[in-house]
Structure 1
Amino acid sequence: MHKLAKMGTPIFWAEGHPGRLDKEKWVLKVEGLCEKPTEFNWQQLMDLPQVTVNARLTSVTRWSVRGDWGGIRFKDILDAVGMKDSCTHLRFWSHGNHYDTSIPLAIALKEKSLLATSFDGEDLTEDYGGPIRALIPYLWGYKSAKSIVKIQLMDYYLPGFWELRGYTDAAELEDGPCRDINDEGVVKHMTREDFTS
């Protein structure tokens, strides 16, 4: 059982669970405002610099989990495709192309934002957005798209799956009660600083 599951981290797929996904056959397409649109296979992704950040993933439904997330900084994959200066936003597409969401480039380039492939040393499973997902600790979790197959580099913002259903475009974290998964799901008052530190 994955550590996230052992901790009691909720499993939620708005568009339906994808079932088993084969990371060895995974392709991540990066396109749009770049000099070298690229389809990265799994080995090419693993050949990019790998980092680990200690960060929280926080759901708009008020739970939050902290751990050591491993993966690829957005800067490294954007450098690899030659991002153009006109790019201001990244749009993520999940497996099946039913779920999408967009974030400002400036947020993607923050220290703890990642294309995450592991949690506390364990590869991410499909339940938790594996084999590769966005980790955007600075925004509500619906911006951290799971099982990403495509990143579009754009010079404008587009609302995605949840934004079109009433969630805010900015997805700004708010102080308030939250279930801390790291503390056996105890509900406590948590602040934006707690979520992003």
Structure 2
Amino acid sequence: MKTLEELNTPIFWAEGHPGSLERDKWVISVTGKCVNPQQFTWQQLLQLPQKEVMGRLTSVTRWSVEGLWTGIAFSTILDIVKMLPSCKYLRFWSIGEIYDTSIPVDIALKEKSLLAHSFNKEYLSEDYGGPVRVFVPYLWGYKSAKSVVKIELMEYYIPGFWENRGYSDSGEIEPGPCRDLNADGEIKYIQGPGEVIF
């Protein structure tokens, strides 16, 4: 199976590439509307039940890459921290806490949404959002925050980095042409909102 690099997946960090990150020292804080806020170390994340899904990361700049993503279902995290019923959105913060974005809880709980650490059985590099990133194949890629250090459980929506710069708050994938990186960049067509399946 090819890596993201071998598939010529573009590297893009709106807030600047973070450089080398220490996977073994990675910590993600989960706070906000929950009974049991806590921090998860890299080792603790790997000890949680792991889930594998086939899915596409699709950029608003109209490229899409498919592969086997491995990580932790958001339902697992939310059960551990005991999310309160009043929580309606998950807000993600990337390393440095410059980049943020939010998604509805119901999207986070969909079958293929993950806190992902691997693509095609290989750990994600910093170029592609490692050590741990959001993977939400149902929305444009800017909703799949890279190198996540904090998850806030929110009662209300707050526009994030790109949303404040004109991108849609919903992140709903729109129909139209898109480069399929699994087919050497061949132009294919997104038929409608939801998960992209060519």
Does TM-score exceed 0.5, indicating one fold? yes
Q: CA deviation at 1:191?
A: 2.1
Q: CA deviation at 1:194?
A: 6.2
User: Counterpart of 2:196?
Assistant: 195
TM-align CA RMSD: 1.2
Instruction: Give the Cα–Cα distance (whole angstroms) in 2 for the partners of residues 45 and 196 of structure 1.
Output: 29
- Identify unmatched segments of 5+ residues in structure 1: none
Instruction: Give the Cα–Cα distance (whole angstroms) in 2 for the partners of residues 72 and 17 of structure 1.
Output: 24
Instruction: Give the Cα–Cα distance (whole angstroms) in 2 for the partners of residues 178 and 74 of structure 1.
Output: 28
Identity %: 62
Q: Are 1:29 and 2:29 an aligned pair?
A: yes
User: Counterpart of 1:147?
Assistant: 147
1:137–1:196: 8 Å Cα contact kept in structure 2? no
Instruction: Give the Cα–Cα distance (whole angstroms) in 2 for the partners of residues 119 and 16 of structure 1.
Output: 22
Q: CA deviation at 1:47?
A: 1.0
Q: How does 1:181-192 map to 2 (within 5 A)?
A: 181-192=181-192
Q: 1:101-120: CA deviations, max 9, x gaps?
A: 00000000000000000000
User: Counterpart of 1:75?
Assistant: 75
Q: CA deviation at 1:140?
A: 0.4
The one-letter amino acid paired with 1:83 is M
The one-letter amino acid paired with 2:97 is N
Q: Are 1:43 and 2:33 an aligned pair?
A: no
User: Counterpart of 2:132?
Assistant: 132
Q: Are 1:107 and 2:107 an aligned pair?
A: yes
1:90–1:105: 8 Å Cα contact kept in structure 2? yes
Q: CA deviation at 1:52?
A: 0.2
Q: CA deviation at 1:45?
A: 0.8
TM-score, scaled relative to structure 1? 0.97
Instruction: Give the Cα–Cα distance (whole angstroms) in 1 for the partners of residues 17 and 114 of structure 2.
Output: 22
Q: How does 1:116-127 map to 2 (within 5 A)?
A: 116-127=116-127
- Identify unmatched segments of 5+ residues in structure 2: none
The one-letter amino acid paired with 1:176 is G
The one-letter amino acid paired with 1:47 is Q
The one-letter amino acid paired with 1:17 is H
Instruction: Give the Cα–Cα distance (whole angstroms) in 2 for the partners of residues 171 and 128 of structure 1.
Output: 19
Cα distance, 1:134–1:194 mapped onto 2, change above 3 Å: closer
Q: How does 1:42-61 map to 2 (within 5 A)?
A: 42-61=42-61
TM-score, scaled relative to structure 2? 0.96
Q: Are 1:64 and 2:60 an aligned pair?
A: no
Instruction: Give the Cα–Cα distance (whole angstroms) in 2 for the partners of residues 19 and 86 of structure 1.
Output: 37
